[in-house]
Amino acid sequence: MPRVRNRVMTLRLAKRYLKKVKNTVSPEEYQIFMSLIQEMKDKRSDVGPTVRKVIELFKHNGGLLSGFNRFLPKGYRIVPLMMPGRFQIRMERSEASVPLINFVRKIK
């Protein structure tokens, strides 16, 4: 039962995050984001390049980047640098992360 509950919670978080993205960015940016996620789902892109593209897409919205962290595989984090609008991918231990591929599978 806990496994099903976790899956439902993950799905709810993913849907909530997508709604936030859709309500925050332009329709073009949202479409680009969804295309990036689809590439991950279809295994046409690895985590690193996809995360770099998401950083570039959302570089002026730290809240969206912070929310995206929740779905990155363990060990990956998007962290802000000292300069506004600048982020990097950092390998860190993150026990709370839900693997990105699970996020990708749930949204389509």
pLDDT exceeds cutoff 60 at 92: no
Higher pLDDT, 29 or 102: 29
The pLDDT of residue 95: 46
pLDDT exceeds cutoff 90 at 82: no
The CA–CA distances, whole Å, from 9 to 5, 53, 62 equal: 6, 26, 23
CA neighbor of 16 nearest in space, from 52, 83, 64: 64
Mean pLDDT is highest, among 17-26, 33-42, 43-52, 70-79, for 17-26
Higher pLDDT, 29 or 8: 29
Q: Determine what percent of the chain is predicted with pLDDT higher than 70.
A: 65
CA atoms within 13 A on the CB side of 77: 11
What are the CB-based long-range contacts (under 8 Å, 24+) for 7-13? 10/98, 10/102, 10/103, 10/106, 11/106, 13/70, 13/98
**CA-based torsion, 6, 105, 107, 38: positive or negative:** positive
